[in-house]
Structure 1
Amino acid sequence: MSQPGYPGIVGHRGAAAVSAENTLTAFARGEADGADAIELDVHLTANGELAVIHDATVDRTAVAGRTTGAVSALTWAQLQDVELADGERIPSLAQALAAIGVEIHVEIKAPAAAVPATELVRAAGLFDRVVMTSFDIDALRDVRAVAPDVRVGVISAAPTPQARDAVRELGAASLALQVRQLDDRMVEEVHTEGALVCGWPVLTSDDLRAALAAGVDLVTADDPAWCRAALAALRH
């Protein structure tokens, strides 16, 4: 777990640096390697299933079987023909929620997935340890409209006026920004508005030092084990 004065670690797509991203294996690896939270991405299939995958198509991550196609144009059965690295398959959001034991950051990639994903999280009784996040502010508005009590998180490459306004409008629990866009004054301002700040992506020791210098609450890392070891080294 995170230590006082040091940020919590969010496992990016589970543990994307060491396991096939956004798979049940990656989520288990991220949790085992010390992530305080697991981040995953959600799209909606042609027949309304919530699929855990980052891209709008399967083309980048597929290695065998069905190797091309838009997630929104494929049924869940067709999506299961996609073979990922290490023989992995694309999980459903329901499978992921059931498998992960720590906090979960559900990033809405397809706006159409916002409401059904939120309703699934509600049905699973997981509002206490799920944060619904997105770059798409309208998607977060849809989440908030159906679930005023769920935590939401704004993601932005930079602390734009639009992102800062969205944090206030939505009463967001967090604002996630690229590490190179962070500074301690801005982080303090976000804190005064009641939101946590997450730095992403933390891939190197320099990234981690920058995040620590800015005073972030969370860091998103592809390799949670490395990140935890690097934090320990800096602590000592």
Structure 2
Amino acid sequence: MVGTQWKPFGSLNTPQVLAHRGASAVEVENTLLAFHRAKEIGAHAVELDVRLCQSGEMIVHHNPALGDGRQINLLNKGELPSHVCTLEEALDACEGMWVNIEIKNDPSEPDFDPTEMLADKVAAMLRGRGAPDQWLVSSFRRQTIDAMHASWPELPTAWLTMTVDDAQAENVAAELRASGHSALHPFVKTLTRHVIDTMHLHGLSVNTWTIDDPARMAELLEWGIDGLCTNKPDVALEVIARNR
């Protein structure tokens, strides 16, 4: 097995702990408090979600609507609750960690944009914030990460997926590599050792989500996983320390 090609800054070949929407087991997800707590815990990275609101700001929020049902793409920034932050504010809070930015652009959701304007806006912001190895941009929509790669080829990109079965692994790895992408982000319950090995053979990293079970973490570390995206970064760090 060859080593993976992409490594985030400061990784030193250590399995990475990505705080899922920040330290979301102890703070409200996707908030500055959650990101600050992840840093205090010692997470290597934060995973967060980004969407556009009506006034054009990039907003960090997982769902297309607020808890009261109002759609984010129909609201100006000033109409959003105070805990909902912008991408720029989130990145400031995450200084010292690398950040996995998931671009939300689902054709089944009301803010879907086939022009991929959000990808262009994210790339433009990140260009002004330092070296590309501080970021990893992901999406479930392949066209979105393709657009991101076209906008800034040096920026690492990853494909999010619910499943890649063993029979598909070789084709998926070859397609991602040929398209210039850096990583696969598969759902933890469907991930196999064969998929990890195949991605590594093609020079791709594998970061899995969302994993809070210590026993499964230990198994994946044995298999050579590159990153654990978890609501409990403190637990993941403890498991990594025990399995060195």
Give the TM interval when normalised to the shorter protein: 0.7 to 0.9
State whether structure 2 residue 103 is matched by structure 1 residue 95. Answer: no
CA distance in structure 2 between the aligned counterparts of 1:205 and 1:3, rounded to whole angstroms = 23
Residues 209-228 of structure 1 mapped to structure 2, 5 A cutoff = 209-228=218-237
| Separation (CA, whole Å) in 1 of partners of 2:172 and 2:70 | 32
The equivalences for 1:67-86 within 5 A come to 67-79=68-80, 82=81
Map of 1:142 onto structure 2: 147
Amino acid at match of 1:98: D
Q: Secondary structure at the match of 1:128?
A: helix
TM superposition shift of 1:192? 1.4
Contact 1:105 1:132 in 2 (8 A): yes
Structure 1 equivalent of residue 99 of structure 2: 104
Q: Which runs of 5+ in 2 are unaligned?
A: 1-9, 106-115
Aligned to 1:132: 137
Letter in 1 for 2:93: A
- Separation in structure 2 between the aligned mates of residue 159 and residue 105 of structure 1, nearest angstrom: 20
Q: Equivalents in 2 of 1:171, 1:53: separation in Å? A: 27
Would the aligned equivalents of 1:200 and 1:221 in 2 still touch at CA under 8 Å? yes
User: Aligned partners of 2:163 and 2:223: how far apart in 1?
Assistant: 14
Which whole-Å deviations, capped at 9, do the CAs of 1:111-163 have from their partners, x for residues lacking one? 54211111111122342301111111111111112111211111111116485
2:112 aligns with none
Q: How does 1:1-236 map to 2 (within 5 A)?
A: 7-59=15-67, 67-79=68-80, 82=81, 89-101=83-95, 102-110=97-105, 111-159=116-164, 161=168, 163-164=172-173, 166-235=175-244
Q: Which has the higher contact order (CA 8 A, sep 6+)?
A: 2
C-alpha separation between the residues in 1 aligned to 2:180 and 2:223?
Answer: 22
Q: Distance in 1 between matches of 2:144 and 2:230?
A: 24
Q: Distance in 1 between matches of 2:117 and 2:76?
A: 15
User: Please, which runs of 5 or more residues in structure 1 have no aligned partner?
Assistant: 60-66, 84-88
Q: How much identity, in percent, do the aligned residues show?
A: 27
CA shift digits 1:41-81 (9 cap, x unpaired): 0000011110001111112xxxxxxx3311111111111xx
Aligned counterpart, 1:64: none
Distance in 2 between residues matched to 1:126 and 1:38, nearest whole Å: 17
Measured in 2, the distance between the counterparts of 1:27 and 1:165 equals: 34
Point out the more displaced range, 97-106 or 174-183. 174-183
Per the normalisation by structure 2, the TM-score is 0.83
Contact 2:18 2:44 in 1 (8 A): yes
For the residue of structure 1 that corresponds to 2:218, the secondary structure is helix
**Shift in CA distance, 163/23, structure 1 to aligned 2, threshold 3 Å:** farther
The alpha carbon displacement at 1:11 in A equals 0.6
Structure 1 contact 118–132 (Cα < 8 Å) conserved = no
**Distance in 2 of aligned mates of 1:140 and 1:11:** 21
Residue 7 of structure 1 and its aligned partner are, at CA, apart by 1.9
